Amino acid sequence: MRSSLFLLFALNAFLARGADAGSYQLIGKITQPDREFTKATRPLVFLDGTHIPFASQTRADLSGKFKFKDLHADLFTLIVYIPRSGEYARTVEVSRALADSRKRIFVEVIFQPSLASKSYQKVSSSRLSIPDKALRECEKANRKMQNRDAAGAFEHLKKAVEIAPQYVDAWNNLGALAYKSHQFALAETYFREALKHEPDYYPSLVNLGGALLTQGKIQDSLPWNLAALQARPDDALAHSQLGLNYYYMGRMDEAEKYLKQATVLDPGHFSYPQLALADIYIRSGDSASAARMLQQFLDLHPDAGEAPAVRKQIQQLGLK
């Protein structure tokens, strides 16, 4: 099971999205083809905010139903873990336009375990050596995150790595918090520290690629984003970040390939791959494909800060 819920995206512009502090509910149902849930296989569901520091978890019932309450508008990574089956992740959006009159957003999750799910069950020797005191500090940090207390969570995570410097989950979560507070260089430092202790630790591997990309370190980020894709070839974030890496390098054919795959794996992904794809198509003179990507973006993210500009661009492209 993935021990860290903090995954990042690459572009600064996405961090500027305004927050709606309304109290929303996310109501979901998980289905697993040809299999029913038992007490031993009830899904564990994680929810991690991408703009507002927030993380929570719950258990689905035997019918696969789950609920998260008191949510702010945001893009969230929803992660479903089913014992002995694996893990599945996708982006869900909570916003005014997608909610009903009672501020409820409904989501159906057809469970499709990732190719690398089995590796989540492997625990490195460094993590097996984490003392209980450090684990308790991380649990306290998680409770702070549930209350959106990023500063309190940060302090507990710092204590955790002071007790156990090999605690890669804590280093990664420190990096995520630093990133979300726009301290990108500090985030890079924390992700690198995690990788010192566990070089193939995927959350920090992909997060480091994103942190470098956000800082404009385009050449430096490429090896990390290539390594992330190699490690998790079915992760939308890895595809999107590598695609953006190539986009900023001007390698548009390669950028298109990976950004398109990101939209296949997770159409509503929080890195907004449709926007970069639209620009690629505009540059190549393919207005129809550009308009199609922009309309897909609007359908998925109607309340995004970029939505007014996207609507205007669609009009300019001649799509009614």
Helix (H) or strand (E) holding 298: helix 287-300
CB 232, CB 114: distance < 8 Å: yes
pLDDT of residue 22: 74
What tokens appear for 80 in the block?
């479903």
Q: What is the pTM of this model?
A: 0.89
pLDDT over 50 at 45, yes or no: yes
- What's CA 215's distance to the chain center, in Å? 18
- Measured between alpha carbons, how far is residue 12 from residues 9, 178, 183 in Å? 9, 14, 11
For residue 261, the surrounding DSSP H or E stretch is helix 252-265
When computed from its CA atoms, the radius of gyration of the chain, rounded to whole angstroms, is: 19
| Residues 6+ away with beta carbon under 8 Å from 300 | 93, 267, 268, 274
Q: Which fold has domain 12-121?
A: Immunoglobulin-like (2.60.40)
Instruction: Read off the pLDDT of residues 229-277 as tens digits, 9 standing for 90 and up.
Output: 999 999 999 999 999 999 999 999 999 999 999 999 999 999 999 999 9
List 25's β-bridge partners, or say none.
Answer: 104
Beta bridge partner(s), residue 48: 55, 77
pLDDT digits (tens, 9 = 90+) for 169-213: 999 999 999 998 889 999 999 999 999 999 999 999 999 999 999
205, burial (CB in 10 Å: exposed 0-12, middle 13-18, buried 19+): buried
pLDDT band at 20 (very low <50, low <70, confident <90, very high): low
Q: Dihedral of the CA atoms 243, 81, 201, 149 (nearest 10)?
A: 90
Assess contact for 256 and 280: CB atoms under 8 A.
Answer: yes
Report residue 89: phi and psi, to 5°.
Answer: -130, 145
- Taking only the tens place, the pLDDT of each residue in 81-133 is 998 888 999 999 999 999 999 999 999 999 988 766 554 445 555 566 899 99
- φ and ψ at 26, to 5 degrees? -110, 115
Burial of 16-41, coded b for 16+ CB within 10 Å and e otherwise, reads ebeebeeebbbebebebeeeebeeee
Burial string for 281-315 (b: 16+ CB within 10 Å, else e) reads bbeeeeeebbbbbbbbbbebbebbebeeebeebbe
Tokens of 8: 């990042």
Among 261, 179, 239, 177, which Cα is nearest to 212's? 179
Q: So what's the pLDDT on residue 11?
A: 43
309 pLDDT more than 70:
yes
DSSP class of residue 320?
A: -
Q: Provide the 3-class DSSP secondary structure of residue 57.
A: strand
Contact 255, 276 (CB under 8 A): yes
pLDDT of residue 150 exceeding 50: yes
Q: Quick check: helix, strand or coil at residue 7?
A: coil
pLDDT, residue 84, reads 83
